[in-house]
Every structure is written in structure tokens, then in C-alpha cells.
């Protein structure tokens, strides 16, 4: 092997894979009679070959991800076309009419709730002060109550098939991880995430030789895994992203993948850093005489360690426990640390600049062009405090702006209006922490606010639009999600109102049921009683069990069972049920697993969880 060529190749390899560390090893690589000082040229050739192979392998990763996204997009848009055709059939009267519903079981629940002494509003709206409830909290969860339910199993066992069992397993949400209290998603989401992690594990360790001398090859591979996932990480974390439109996956689901991907690349960064330290000890110390200070003081190394520290800080401040205690700190640090880490990483090594450049572009487009220029507006809002002295009502008048080519290209701004389940973020400049907002509202009744949005996805709306029975379950402030959806469903299905009763006159409208779990009776003030009565006159069934602080947790399983049983036997076989739930994690899991039980029994049911988060 030519020693000059060997030195040149080794220097170039280290330059491109060990973060610009230029190692002068000509004296060690020159021909000598001392076999103990002469390094094994074949070993160094393996390092060169390994680095070249890493580059070829990682270059296929974006194409695999792109192919997967295209497959999901094809499935989503095929289903969307089918839904459009189904809606066309419904408009011609082929949907099951609401009048064919057997509302007996659901009425039984409402009547029993009233008999317990609840104050009932007109129509189908019910507020019960003492519904069957659970007062003991088993680690934030509660045992199923179907064994003691007032209704037998709503579906015959002969409808339980292998397909229904598989669907139910995918819908089911396991208990939180003990000690860590980490909420797990549904089994279907977990399998999807595990498959994605398995793909990255394959790309990280495939064809890797686990020897100390070749540790730099593993470190290089892990560094490339970190870099190639950066654009995807920033796309998944962006409020304005094409993946929602292409795949139909909700922002909440994409955010779960974003967090797991963040954890994965943190592991990749640690592997990369650890392997490079092994490379220093095994190669640079014996063949170049580098001390630890020589290694750490090299710009490429200390920039890499700085990027690692910045991303590690970003990860720690993104943990759920940190967000819950210091949300404003998380909010600000998440933006600052992201920007700082990308800048440091850009100068860390020239081989990562392509991936970092894409990530920076995504970050700037999302933060600057969309959020500051196209989707934000300053307003003067009126602030009032509810009787519970904890809840604020912020109201404002926002003139609707006409649709333009600019808004169609970049997406509608908040001044163009928004739909139910679209997120609108409200920022109070110069106030800072949430507790200050309450104190400010006690001193003055107007505030300057920045409104940012709309975001979110249409997944929940589309799910309920396509359902014969729409069930909305809200826990506490989750009413902010379900209440606009109810109005949306009524608007798209109404063909007019009866002048005497106010009921909808469409012949094929869907059945809409809302269950609202409140913590305190004072929270009923959030929705005016006249508004609830108005929706009840239009046919919406509103079930409000007693406040949990007074009577304990309601029997959600029994409530859901009774609502679903409000269908005729003929309709039960073909009825499509959509469920949207928004509330605390424990309530979300209870409803989700009840839906899994109904799916296992053969019901055509889909459920989605809407959670508040950033």
C-alpha cells in the first residue's frame, strides 16, 4: 500500500468523518522496520471503507421516509375520496334517518340522572348532581364498570371476529408506566412509533463491526443518523407542516412522533460523542500523541460538544414534568435553544450542513414567515373573570379579511376565520406568567393580545361528519374543543329550523350526543344555560353528570354504553360511530378503552383524542 496515498486518504477520511480533526500521521504510516510502531494498514482501510459505506447507506434513508409518506398519503386521499362519495349519497337521502333511532337506553340514562335530583334543562340536556360514580382514584385510573352496568352487552358475541379483535387491540391504550407516570398512546400508535424506531436502529447498527478500533465508524453512522433526522424533526414539530395535509394525521399524533424522534436523536448524539472519544483514545493517542486537551480544544470537537449540550438542555426542558411546572420557560427556551443548536451544528462539520440547512429553512419558514407575518394579528381584548375566580373570559372583535392569493398560498390567517378543532394561540405581551394574567384582569378589563393561528387539523371534524352517531366527551376545559364541533356539525347538516320548536328539519341528520364532565358546579357558567337549551332544542343530547368534587367520578362506561345502545337492531349493524374526547389523561384513556371494547364487539367505531399542548 502506497504510504503517501494512505496518508492522504486517512487525512481526508478523518476530515470528513471525525469533525474536521486533521491528524498528521505521516511518521507513523511511513515504512519502517519496527513492526511494533507500524499501524495495520488494513485496519485503516476498513475505517475508510466504513465511512464511505455509511454515506451510501444513509443516503437511502430520506427516500425510505419519502416512500412511506407517499404510501400514507395515497391511503389518506383514497379514503377522502370515498368519504366525499359517501357524503354525496347521504345528501341524496341514503343515510339512516335520525327518527329510526331507538333512544330508549339513552333516555333511561338522562331520566335516571334527573331522578337523582339533578336540575335538568329543557330538551335533551341533563345536569345530574348525583349520577353513579367512582370516588376512589386508583393511580389516576379506574376499573371498568361494565360488570355492574345497567345494560347488557350491546353487541352479540357472534359479531366478534379476528378483525374486530385486531382493531380493538390497536385502539386500546395501556396504563401509564409505573413510577414514571408516563402516559402511553394507543397500541396502534405505539406499534407505529416502534416500527419507526426499529428503522433507525437498523440504519444505525447495520453492518457495523463492534471493535474499539472501528468505533469511529459507528460514531460516524450515529452522527449521520442525527443529521438526516433533523429536517424531519423540525417538520414534525412545526405548527405549519405539509404532513397533516398529505397524510391526514392529526397534529397531536405527529407531535408524539416528534417527541420520540427527539429522544432517538439524543441517543444517537450520545453514541456519536462516545464513539469519537473511543477513537481519540485508540487512534489519536497512540498514533498522533494527542492529549485530551488537544482533542477538546479543536474547534470541531468543542463545537460538537456545545451542540450536544444545547440539544440535551432542549430535551430536558421539553420533558412533561418540566413543561407542567415551568411552561413559559419551556416555551421560550424551546425556541432559543433550537435556533442556537442549529447555528452551532452548522459550523460543527461541513458534512452536516445540508441537513442543518434544511432544518434551518423549515424553522425560519414556520417561525418567521407563517407565524409572525401570515398568521398573527394584534387585537385589543376585553377580559372578565368568572364567578369561580379562576377562569378568565377573553373576548375580542376581529373583522374578517377577504381571501387573497397570498393567504391561499401560505394558508389562511386568523383574520380569515377558522374552523372547529383549529388551534388559536393567544399571547399577552409584557405579562409573562399565567398567574400574572389573572392579577392583570383584576386591575383592568382590556389587554393588548397577539393572536396566532389557526393551526390544528380537520381529523376530528371529518371523523364526526362521516358518522351516523357523533359522541363528544369533554372533561373540564375540554368543552373548548367539543362545543365548537357541535355547532359545526349542526351547521353542515341543517336544512332549516322548525319555526315553533327550533328543531332541525333535515330528514337525514345525524345523532349528536355530548357528555361534559365538570369538576365544580361553577364551571357550568362557562357555557350559558340558554346556549345549552338552544342546542337541546335542535336535537343535541347534552349529558352533564354531577360535579366530580361533589359526587365523585361518573360511570363513563355506563354512560357510553347507554348512548351507543340508543339504536335500532337494524341500524346497529351498519351504524358508523365517531367519538371525540378531550380532557385529562385519565378520562381520555377511559373513553378510549371503552371504544376499544365496542370495536371488539363488532361496532363500526372510530375515536380520536384532542389534547391541549404545545
Please report the pLDDT score of residue 280 as a whole number: 85
pLDDT for 594: 92
**With 70 as the cut, is the pLDDT of residue 456 above it?**
no
Nearest to 134 by CA among 561, 552, 584, 587: 552
Band of residue 62 on the pLDDT scale cut at 50, 70, 90: very high
* pLDDT class of 296 with cuts at 50, 70, 90: confident
Confirm if 95 and 510 have CB atoms less than 8 A apart: yes
What sign does the CA torsion over 75, 77, 83, 89 have?
negative
pLDDT at 198 over 90: yes
Q: Are 149 and 563 in contact (CB under 8 A)?
A: no
Terminal-residue alpha carbon distance, the chain: 57
Cell for 246?
Answer: 398529505
Domains and CATH numbers, the chain: 38-70+189-372 (no CATH), 94-180+458-609 (3.40.50.80), 376-452 (no CATH)
Mean pLDDT, rounded, for 264-287: 88
CB 10 within 8 Å of CB 29: yes
Output the pLDDT for position 569: 58
Residue 446 has pLDDT above 90, yes or no: no
pLDDT for residue 374 is more than 70: no
Taking CA atoms, 383 is separated from 263, 444, 445, in Å, by 40, 8, 5
**Grid cell locating 487:** 355547532
Report the pLDDT averaged over residues 557-571: 75
Per-residue model confidence as pLDDT tens digits over 326-342: 777 887 888 888 888 88
pLDDT at 25 over 60: no
pLDDT tens figures, 225-240: 999 999 999 898 887 7
Q: Would you state the torsion angle of the CA atoms of residues 520, 522, 525, 527, taken in this order, to the nearest 10 degrees?
A: 10
Alpha helices by DSSP H, 453-547:
459-465, 479-493, 529-537
Mean pLDDT, range 249-276, rounded to an integer: 87
Residue 243's pLDDT band (boundaries 50, 70, 90)? confident
Query: Which strands sit side by side in the sheet containing 541-544, from one edge to the other?
Result: 126-127, 541-544, 511-517, 469-475, 576-582, 604-609
What Å distances lie between residue 607 and 102, 164, 579, 594, CA to CA? 22, 15, 5, 10
- Minimum mean pLDDT among 185-194, 198-207, 548-557, 569-578: which range? 569-578
Residue 607 to residue 614: CA distance in whole angstroms: 22
User: Which tops the pLDDT comparison, 96 or 228?
Assistant: 228
CA distance 95 to 86: 9
Alpha-carbon Rg for the chain in angstroms: 29
Look at residue 399 and tell me whether its pLDDT is greater than 60: yes
Which of 254-263, 428-437, 505-514, 529-538 shows the lowest mean pLDDT across its residues? Answer: 428-437
| 390 CB-near residues (< 8 Å, 6+ apart) | 438
Residue pair 356/343 in contact (Cβ under 8 Å)? The answer is no
In this prediction, residue 195 has a pLDDT band, given cuts at 50, 70 and 90, of very high
- Strand ranges for 268-423 from DSSP E: 376-385, 392-395
Closest CA to 99 of 579, 605, 506: 506
- Between residues 301 and 26, the one the model is more confident about: 301
pLDDT at 278 over 80: yes
The whole-chain average pLDDT of the chain stands at: 74
What band does 433 get if pLDDT is binned at 50, 70 and 90? low
> Grid coordinates standing for 564?
351507543
pLDDT of the residue at 159:
60
Segment 370-384 shows an average pLDDT of: 72
Question: What is the pLDDT averaged over residues 355-365?
Answer: 88
**What is the rounded distance in angstroms from the CA atom of residue 170 to the CA atom of residue 68?**
20
Q: Tell me the per-residue pLDDT of 100-157, one tens digit each, with 9 for 90 and over.
A: 444 444 444 444 444 433 433 333 444 444 444 433 334 343 333 333 444 444 444 4
Say how far apart CA 480 and CA 449 lie, in whole Å. Answer: 19
Of the listed ranges 207-211, 420-424, 548-552, 590-594, the least confidently predicted one is 420-424
CA distance 124 to 42: 81
Residue 81 has pLDDT above 50, yes or no: yes
Answer positive or negative: Cα dihedral of 99, 102, 108, 110. negative
In this predicted model, which residue has the larger pLDDT, 430 or 396?
396
CA-to-CA distance for 228 and 224, rounded, in angstroms?
Answer: 6
Cell 387539523 appears where? 457
Between CA 385 and CA 391, with CA 387 as vertex, the angle to 5 degrees is 45
Collapsing DSSP states into helix, strand and coil, what is residue 286? helix
Res. 386 pLDDT band, cuts 50 70 90: confident
State yes or no: pLDDT of 64 exceeds 90. Answer: yes
**Percentage of the chain lying above the pLDDT 90 cut:** 14
Lowest mean pLDDT among 197-201, 344-348, 376-380, 463-467: 376-380
Asked whether the beta carbons of 550 and 536 are under 8 A apart, the reply is no
Mean local confidence (pLDDT), 474-479: 87
pLDDT at 196 over 90: yes
User: What are the residues facing 578 on neighbouring strands?
Assistant: 470, 606
Which three three-digit cell numbers place residue 498? 322548525
For residue 444, what pLDDT band results from cuts at 50, 70 and 90? confident
Judged against a pLDDT cut of 60, whether residue 485 lies above it is answered with: yes
Which 3 state secondary structure label does DSSP give 131? coil
Residue 388 pLDDT greater than 90, yes or no? no
Highest mean pLDDT among 241-245, 267-271, 479-483: 267-271
Residue 329 DSSP label: H
Say if residues 460 and 250 touch (Cβ distance below 8 Å). Answer: yes
The residues that bridge with 477 in the sheet, in sequence order, are: none
State the pLDDT at residue 459: 77
Confidence (pLDDT) at 230: 92
Share of the chain above pLDDT 70, in %: 68
Per-residue confidence (pLDDT) for residue 267, from 0 to 100:
92
C-alpha 115/C-alpha 95 separation (Å) is 35
- pLDDT grade, residue 567 (50/70/90)? low
What's the pLDDT score for residue 191? 92
Closest CA to 525 of 556, 508, 510, 547: 547
Minimal CA–CA distance to 523: which of 571, 579, 476? 476
Angstrom CA distances, 110 to 113, 321, 471, 563, stand at: 5, 39, 15, 10
- Nearest residue to 373 via CA among 418, 338, 423, 407: 407
| Mean pLDDT of all residues in 349-363 | 85
Least confident of 27-36, 201-210, 281-290, 538-547: 27-36
Per-range mean pLDDT, top range of 449-453, 541-545, 561-565:
541-545
pLDDT of residue 449: 77
Amino acid at each position: 500500500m502506497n504510504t503517501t496515498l494512505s496518508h492522504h486518504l486517512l487525512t481526508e477520511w478523518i476530515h470528513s468523518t471525525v469533525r474536521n480533526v486533521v491528524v498528521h500521521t505521516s511518521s507513523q504510516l511511513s515504512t519502517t522496520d519496527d513492526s511494533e510502531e507500524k499501524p495495520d494498514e488494513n485496519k485503516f482501510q476498513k475505517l475508510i471503507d466504513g465511512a464511505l459505506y455509511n454515506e451510501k447507506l444513509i443516503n437511502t434513508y430520506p427516500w425510505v421516509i419519502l416512500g412511506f409518506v407517499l404510501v400514507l398519503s395515497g391511503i389518506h386521499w383514497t379514503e377522502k375520496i370515498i368519504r366525499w362519495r359517501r357524503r354525496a349519497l347521504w345528501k341524496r337521502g341514503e343515510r339512516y334517518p335520525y327518527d329510526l333511532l331507538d333512544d330508549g337506553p339513552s333516555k333511561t340514562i338522562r331520566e335516571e340522572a334527573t331522578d337523582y335530583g339533578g336540575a335538568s334543562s329543557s330538551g335533551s340536556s341533563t345536569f345530574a348532581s348525583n349520577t353513579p360514580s367512582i370516588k376512589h382514584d386508583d393511580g389516576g385510573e379506574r376499573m371498568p364498570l361494565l360488570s355492574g352496568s345497567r345494560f347488557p352487552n350491546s353487541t352479540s358475541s357472534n359479531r366478534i371476529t379476528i378483525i374486530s379483535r385486531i382493531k380493538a387491540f390497536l385502539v386500546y391504550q395501556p396504563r401509564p408506566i409505573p413510577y414514571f407516570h408516563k402516559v402511553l398512546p394507543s397500541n396502534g400508535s405505539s406499534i407505529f412509533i416502534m416500527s419507526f424506531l426499529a428503522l433507525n436502529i437498523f440504519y444505525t447498527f447495520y453492518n457495523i463491526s463492534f471493535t474499539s478500533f472501528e468505533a469511529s465508524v459507528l460514531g460516524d453512522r450515529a452522527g449521520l443518523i442525527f443529521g438526516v433526522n433533523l429536517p424531519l424533526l423540525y417538520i414534525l414539530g412545526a405548527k405549519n407542516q405539509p404532513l397533516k395535509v398529505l397524510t391526514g394525521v392529526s397534529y397531536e399524533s405527529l407531535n408524539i412522533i416528534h417527541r420520540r424522534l427527539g429522544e432517538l436523536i439524543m441517543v444517537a448524539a450520545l453514541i456519536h460523542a462516545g464513539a469519537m472519544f473511543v477513537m481519540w483514545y485508540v487512534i489519536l493517542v497512540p498514533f498522533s500523541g494527542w492529549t485530551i486537551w488537544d482533542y477538546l480544544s479543536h474547534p470541531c470537537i468543542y463545537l460538537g460538544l456545545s451542540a450536544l449540550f444545547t440539544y440535551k438542555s432542549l430535551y430536558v426542558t421539553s420533558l412533561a414534568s418540566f413543561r407542567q411546572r415551568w411552561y413559559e420557560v419551556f416555551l421560550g427556551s424551546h425556541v432559543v435553544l433550537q435556533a442556537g443548536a442549529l447555528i452551532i451544528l452548522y459550523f460543527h462539520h461541513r458534512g452536516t450542513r445540508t441537513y442543518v440547512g434544511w432544518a434551518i429553512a423549515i424553522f425560519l419558514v414556520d417561525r418567521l414567515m407563517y407565524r409572525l407575518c401570515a398568521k398573527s394579528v394584534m387585537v385589543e381584548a376585553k377580559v372578565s373573570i368568572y364567578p369561580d375566580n379562576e377562569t378568565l373570559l377573553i373576548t375580542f372583535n376581529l373583522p374578517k379579511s377577504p381571501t387573497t392569493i397570498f393567504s391561499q398560498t401560505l394558508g389562511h390567517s386568523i383574520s380569515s376565520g377558522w374552523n372547529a378543532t383549529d388551534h388559536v394561540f393567544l399571547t399577552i405581551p409584557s405579562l409573562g406568567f399565567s398567574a400574572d394574567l389573572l392579577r392583570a384582569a383584576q386591575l383592568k378589563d382590556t389587554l393588548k393580545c397577539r393572536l396566532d393561528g389557526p393551526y390544528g387539523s380537520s381529523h376530528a371534524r371529518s371523523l364526526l361528519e362521516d358518522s351516523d352517531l357523533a359522541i363528544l366527551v369533554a372533561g373540564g376545559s375540554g368543552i373548548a374543543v367539543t362545543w365548537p364541533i357541535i355547532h359545526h356539525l349542526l351547521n353542515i347538516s341543517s336544512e332549516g329550523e322548525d319555526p315553533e320548536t327550533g328543531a332541525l328539519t333535515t330528514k337525514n341528520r345525524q345523532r349528536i350526543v355530548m357528555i361534559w364532565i365538570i369538576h365544580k358546579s361553577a364551571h357550568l357558567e362557562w357555557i350559558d344555560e340558554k346556549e345549552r337549551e338552544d342546542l337541546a332544542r335542535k336535537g343535541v343530547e347534552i349529558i352533564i353528570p354531577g360535579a366530580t368534587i361533589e359526587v365523585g367520578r361518573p360511570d363513563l362506561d355506563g354512560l357510553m354504553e347507554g348512548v351507543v345502545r340508543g339504536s335500532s337492531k337494524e341500524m346497529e349493524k351498519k351504524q358508523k360511530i365517531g367519538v371525540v374526547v378531550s380532557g385529562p389523561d385519565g378520562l381520555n384513556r377511559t373513553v378510549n378503552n371503552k371504544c376499544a371494547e365496542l370495536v371488539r364487539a363488532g361496532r363500526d367505531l372510530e375515536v380520536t383524542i384532542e389534547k391541549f399542548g404545545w
